[in-house]
Amino acid sequence: MKEKVMPLYEKLRVYSERLTGNVTGEIKRDIVKTLDEAVRELNVLTGNSYDRYRIIVGSEDDCENLDSLICRMKLGGLLSQLRNEFLANGEKAE
């Protein structure tokens, strides 16, 4: 299972690095879309539900007004959850 989850973990980790400093609406849209896709894929791969980490917006335009802190919290929470589940021995995902 770890082999299937780690590529998603790495992709999300890269996005979390993009959330520093001034975050544009375009980056927020990318993150919301990527996070949603990753959560759906994780749900299928693992049989668990990671839906609490999704960011639900009415439209892509709503991402413009989305607080960057929400993106950071959801993405950071999911990364932490994945580390705890799949890197329990303190291994590095990289």
23 or 73: which carries more pLDDT confidence? 73
| Dihedral (CA of 73, 78, 81, 86) sign | negative
pTM of the model: 0.81
What does the pLDDT read at residue 34?
85
The answer to whether 80 touches 52, Cβ cutoff 8 Å, is: no
| Dihedral (CA of 84, 50, 72, 34) sign | positive
Which H or E run contains 15? helix 2-17
Q: How many CB atoms lie within 10 A of CB 5?
A: 19
**pLDDT digit string, tens, across residues 14-71:** 888 877 767 777 777 888 888 889 999 999 999 999 999 998 887 766 777 778 788 8
Residue 16 in tokens? 């979390």
